[in-house]
Amino acid sequence: MRKGIAVSPGVAVGTAYCIYEIFVNPDTKRLEDREVTAELAQYEYARDKTTDDLRALQKKVEAQVGHEQAAIFAVHETILRDAPFTKKVRDWVVHERMTAQAALHRLMAEYTQLFSRTKDEYLRDRLNDIRDVVVRISAHLSDVLKPETHALPGPLIVVADELLPSHVVALGDADVHGIVTQAGSQTSHAAIIARSRGIPAVSGVAGVLRQVKTGDTIIVDGRDGHVIVNPDSETKSAYHKLEREFVHLKDQLAENRDQPAVTADGVSLQLLANINGVADADASERMGAAGVGLFRTEYLYLTHPDVPDEEEQLDVYRRVVDACPGRDIVIRTLDIGGDKTMVYLGRNYRESNPFMGWRSIRLSFEHPEFFNTQIRAILRAAAYAKKQGGQIRILFPMITTLEEVRRLRSMVRKACKQLSDAGKSHVRPPVGMMLEVPAAALTVRDMLEACDFVSVGSNDLVQYLMAADRDNPKVSHLCQPLAPAVLRVLSEVIRACNEAKKPITVCGEMAGQPRSVVLLLGMGLRSFSMSSAFIPTIKDVAAHVSIAQAEQLAHRAMEFKTIAQVKRYLDTQLRRLAPNLAVLDIA
């Protein structure tokens, strides 16, 4: 048994499916003499396709972002055409009978060792450029995901270093029942993806890829953060029983899809969905979401082969509207940086603390024309949504000052004028701020004058309040949403918004966790946005709790001085109020 971080609740038993990148699992096959010519031809084909990719990407980025940002792809093409680079790969294929993939892996290892000796940051950044080129060639040589998922028995448990958006695209409709990652935290890509699909997941299991191979039997306990590899028959049987109970309870709860979200004393709640794309929007309707509280548009960029233009973005936004007819949809502008980077938006700009640096709205301000393209697409989608009987609202992430909100309103007005001049249908949507920076939380009453609504990003708010990087395993234990400091800040923010009669939603992971939801209810929150798989659970939790009970619980919890005291108290109260829901929360 291995212990990790519980990131998505439930239990799953299945067949391990290991995702190896080229650098982790190179092909060691030795070529036969007759295969050498074909291997060289395949390498040249991959190199030519990579050249085409880089030139197309350079042209598109230059048009949308700028000449300086596009220049990085000219550098990549120079690396690709570097004579020593190509000669080494060819020589190893011809003389040592290595596959092209194995030769690329060896080349990358050589460059890594060479560059590790230098303290020059510029040269160290060039290693990232070489890595990008190698990965692009590798992708044309073969898929990142090598095994055929349909050939593996039973449901799959994906095991990876970190589950990236590109991996999810490659997995397609594979029968994935669980996820285990070596890296990550409760707010990592893997965690967000797992919760959006409603499947159990554990992150932060160091070295698991060295201990598991594709085809092994593996158990994922997403409640306690346990992973068991090749269990004995008794253990396997016990966890199969827990898995059946988990699935049965989820199915039972899903039957409340068409029931209103109300507390035990009849107070109406708004349960919204966090989505990453059209598939999640479809799922939100099936789970009974009242609308979309957070559309994370960065996944549109992260999974796009180059740069999505205005028409491509508009098409996706319209498809989300079609998937949620007549619903309100909150579209958050690009929230990139920190753990999510794109090379053409400054990935090679070195920062000692990227989570508190040049990211999110700060990065968007740096590229106003690129940012304007997204704003225009959202305004045009808002007109489409209005025709369908719904409404689109635009949400700006990582707001720190009132000046930023005023600047953003000005940019929205400018985009409206551009669209009017071009004769394109559009609607100016309500403008909201994502509250995740402590400075904004402390001055929220001043900020509200420029905002139509507020969405609390509890994931970042917690890490900034606790001064702890949520993806750093040494300090991630401090990132606790039930910390007294977090609860006090949230209580004040919710009170301020309610007094100003400005709509407020919590759209971080707190919104989908039963213990947190009871507290937020007691603080006066009535709108929650979560992974759609959690909506039936939260609807059931609400049905077991009256507002008076929630207020009493919140008042008592706010008196405690430690996280442990808050957790113990809420665990006891939740078991009393809704005993069958313990399996659907994380420890």
Cβ burial of 530 (10 Å; 0-12, 13-18, 19+) is: buried
Residue 225 clears pLDDT 50, i.e. is over it:
yes
Residue 293 inside a domain? The answer is yes
Per-residue pLDDT band for 442 (boundaries 50, 70, 90) equals: very high
Catalytic residue among 76, 177, 189, 226: 189
Do 438 and 503 have their domain in common?
A: yes
- Beta-bridge partner residues of 528: 271, 506
Task: Specify whether 367 is catalytic.
Answer: no
Q: Which of 196, 223, 250 is the last residue of a domain?
A: 250
* pLDDT surpassing 90 at residue 344: no
Among 117, 141, 165, residue at a domain's last position: 141
Query: In this structure, are 448 and 508 located in the same domain?
Result: yes
Same domain, 433 and 286: yes
SS3 (DSSP) at 87 = helix
Q: 106 and 224: one domain?
A: no
In a domain, 257, yes or no: no
258 is a domain residue: no
Would you say residue 511 lies in a domain?
yes
Q: Rounded mean pLDDT of the chain?
A: 86
R_g over Cα of the chain: 25
Indicate the number of domains in the chain.
3
Q: What is the CATH number of the domain that holds 491?
A: 3.20.20.60
- Reduce the secondary structure of 243-286 to three states and give it as a string: HHHHHHHHHHHHCCCCCCCECCCCCECEEEEEECCHHHHHHHHH
Assess whether 432 and 573 both reside in one domain.
Answer: yes
Contact 432, 405 (CB under 8 A): no
pLDDT digits (tens, 9 = 90+) for 11-58: 999 999 887 654 444 556 788 888 899 889 989 999 998 898 888 878
What is the average per-residue pLDDT within 289-296? 96
Statement to judge: residues 443 and 399 lie in one domain: yes
Report CA 154 to chain centroid distance, whole Å.
27
Asked whether residue 80 is domain-assigned, the answer is: yes
Asked if the model's pLDDT at residue 451 lies above 60, the reply is: yes
Of 170 and 235, more confident: 235
Contact between residue 10 and residue 200 where contact means Cβ atoms under 8 Å apart: yes
Count other C-beta atoms under 10 Å from residue 37's C-beta.
Answer: 12
- Residue 417: the pLDDT is 97
Tens of pLDDT, residues 387-419: 999 999 999 999 999 999 999 999 999 999 999
Tell me, yes or no, whether 362 lies in a domain.
yes
Cα end-to-end span (Å), the chain: 17
Q: Strand order in 201-203's β-sheet?
A: 2-3, 226-229, 217-221, 11-18, 156-160, 176-181, 201-203, 5-8
Average pLDDT of 183-199? 76
Q: What percentage of the chain reaches a pLDDT higher than 70?
A: 86
Q: Which of 101-115, 122-136, 228-242, 330-344 has the highest mean pLDDT?
A: 228-242
Give the active site residue among 324, 451, 507, 544. 507
Whether residue 381 lies inside any domain: the answer is yes
Is 140 an active-site residue? no
Task: Give mean pLDDT, residues 294-309.
Answer: 84
Q: Please indicate, yes or no, if residue 295 is contained in any of the structural domains.
A: yes
Express each pLDDT in 506-539 by its tens digit. 998 899 989 999 999 999 999 999 988 889 989 9
**pLDDT tier at 586, thresholds 50, 70, 90:** low
Which CATH number is 206's domain given? 3.50.30.10
Is residue 9 scored above 70 in pLDDT?
yes
Does residue 281 sit in the same domain as residue 172? no
- Same domain assignment for residues 155 and 134: no
The domain of 337 spans 266-584
277 and 236 inside one domain: no
Look at residues 570, 465, 583 and name the one whose alpha carbon lies nearest to residue 520: 570
Q: Are 9 and 67 in a shared domain?
A: no
Looking at the structure, do residues 390 and 294 belong to the same domain, yes or no? yes
Domain stop point among 222, 250, 278: 250
Tell me, what CATH number does 85's domain have?
1.10.274.10
Q: Are residues 369 and 483 in the same domain?
A: yes
Which of residues 100 and 304 earns the better pLDDT score?
100
